[in-house]
Structure 1
Amino acid sequence: MFNFDGLRVFSGTAPVLMTFHCGDKGSEAAACHAEYLDPARPDEYQGDLIAPGATQDRWTCAMVGGWSGWIPTDRLVPVPSTPAITTEQWLGTWVTGHARMHSDRLVVTRSAEGHGKIHVEGRAYYTNIAHNVHTGQVSGDAVAMGPFLHILDHGELPDCVLDLKYDLASKTFRAVDNQLCGGFNVTFDGTWHQANSKN
């Protein structure tokens, strides 16, 4: 739950070819069926946590958010320990928009287990065109590593995985989940700010 050893960070700012689906071989030939992964875009995983898998030649099969694919191995670097975010900076109620009924929220508190652990509890919603509300949730403890929290919720199978990356400049964090944290189209992905902030 708290081990960052197996995780890496997607580094650099130049776009790379990313071959979707790890069933494709990691090669330039597979890249013919690829799309550009542009980390210069805020929604393209720059500096986000990556779960690497098998390696073939210069490619690594990686889990990125809710999908997997082959990306160049040299773009994966160890998880940085800086900037270090204090527990106090993580604590609070976080939202993605204006707080209201059926708004996504994450509540970050000190874990009852102590030892510097942080507890994350949250709910997310998706309302379809027929006004049916689909819900999702996450609950788990984590220990911060640099600007990151890596939360693994073992409540149901498959596991919900939620990664948070804190931005000191804006006092917000970016969330990326594995698309297994709730019902149809429910996700915690996005930028979160404190519920009492003016963002």
Structure 2
Amino acid sequence: QLVIYYGEYRSLVLDDGTMASDAIGFWDYLDTYLRSMHLKAGHGGHTDSGEVGDFGYWLAVIDFIGFILGGFFVFFMLQTYPTCWKCSRYLRKITKTGQMFPDHGQFAKYYDTLFQHPVDSRPFADLMKGNPKVRKPALGTVLVGSDLLGCEHCKTQLLAQKVQILGKKGWKDIAKLTRNVRLPDGVDLRQVVTPG
């Protein structure tokens, strides 16, 4: 944040064409800058509180804390994104599909047998494309969302599946059934994982 303030200080040209850095020291500039800030409120910022004085230092601290928290938030969010195990680039979503099962029995049969088949086989494709007819989801309906992710650089792919069950309060994620499966080199499931 100090670097930003210093950059503004070094590039500021006064009305008479003089560089601010030739007329005043950085710390004096920063003190004047922070004390002379204005707070504006209301729709379109029409209400001006005037110069904030010493409170400008607190505003700078609040800005700094927001900047740090924003950086940590982005960092931790990026930790949850899957990356390519070969070249460490972030994987991009290629396509996705969803399958709904009217009861736990049909879902369990699908979920437990899907990866017993080779991912480039016909039985695997049939299971991925199969979609039991569920006209109106009822309590206990299971939804499987499948996202196909891929690396644009080395073309590796990953199949990410998330499971949700419809309860009285809506769809609930079943985290323990979430799975991310790396696909063998050369396997392309774009024709298999298609919106149904």
Structure of greater Rg: 2
TM-score, normalised via structure 1 length: 0.27
Larger proportion of strand: 1
Higher percent of residues as helix: 2
TM-score, normalised via structure 2 length: 0.27
